[in-house]
Amino acid sequence: MNLTLKIWRQKNAKDTGKIVEYPMTDVSPDMSFLEMLDVLNQDLIDKGEEPVAFDHDCREGICGMCSMFVNGQAHGPDSMVTVCQLHMRSFKDGDTIFIEPWRATAFPVIKDLIVDRSAFDRIQHAGGFISVNTSGNTQDANSIPINKHDADTAFDAATCIGCGACVASCKNSSAMLFVSAKVSQFALLPQGQVEATDRVLNMVQQMDDEGFGNCTNTGACEVECPKGISLENIARMNREYLSASFKG
């Protein structure tokens, strides 16, 4: 396939940035999207030009690093996949493909397609954990019975990979889907009850402090989430928050 790539190039956080056009020839439909970018970068390096900076790590849909817009859609045209799981067979010969970084005040661009998502880390630090006695007297998790529905729902929430597509797709740059997944995975389990009140209050406070917008129930986050995280988690987090506010 022959393609035209239009890629956002930005030297650093202060640079204004611009779209730069790159023609690509002989692209195999069996390549992954990131392999196609690898080929482009090797070509740029061979020509003595600066390669396109983009985040990636696992390349199998579990780390959440490969976050970018492809033709205006978070993680590209396929649903329930990350960019690293996207293949060039999803495009056709002659296509023009726009590739851009996430756009959100709380995710400032560092370089080219790489944004700073450390706001998510700080939200996690604010409460996305449980405290367990690890002195050797830790209770075996299997000795605490949990009904299957709650276990499955908690597991589904825990599949959030922190990619940020929900924020980038939201007209308000809201992080509610991400934060609600992180709250829900503990709210549904007995292990999460001890710190439940502080967790939801602190995580929501940190989310607001980081400059994420409010949720207006548009639902774009759920549609674009590569892990199918449900809006039901937002409703659960709102209930948790209301109850914690009365207790706290």
Q: Which residue ranges make up the site for ligand FES (CB under 6 A)?
A: 56-59, 61-66, 82, 84
The two most distant CA atoms of the chain are separated, in Å, by 63
Instruction: Dig out the tokens for 70 from the structure.
Output: 């492809």
Query: Locate tokens 């370089």: which residue?
Result: 111
* Least spacing, CB of residue 148 vs ligand FES, in Å: 28
Residue (37 or 189) nearer to ligand FES, CB: 37
CB of 61 to ligand FES, least distance (A): 5
Question: Among residues 158, 23, 45, which one has the least CA distance to residue 97?
Answer: 23
Q: Looking at beta carbons only, is 227 or 236 nearer to ligand FES?
A: 227
Distance of closest approach, residue 192 Cβ to ligand FES, in angstroms: 25
Q: Is 166 in the site for ligand SF4 (CB under 6 A)?
A: yes
Binding site partner of 160, from ligand SF4, ligand FES, none, Cβ cut-off 5-8 A by kind? ligand SF4
Whole-number Å distance between alpha carbons of 12 and 37: 20
133-140's contacts with Cβ under 8 Å and 24+ in sequence apart are none
Site residues for ligand SF4, 181-200, by CB under 6 A, read: 181
Pick one of ligand SF4, ligand FES, none as the site partner of residue 162 (Cβ within 5 to 8 A by kind): ligand SF4
DSSP state of 51: P
Which CB, 157 or 196, lies closer to ligand SF4? 157
DSSP state at residue 90: G
Place of tokens 């900076």: 53
Judged by CB, which is closer to ligand FES: 85, or 180? Answer: 85
Helix and strand element counts for the chain (H, E) = 8, 7
Which residues are near ligand SF4 by CB under 6 A?
160-166, 177-178, 181, 225-227, 229
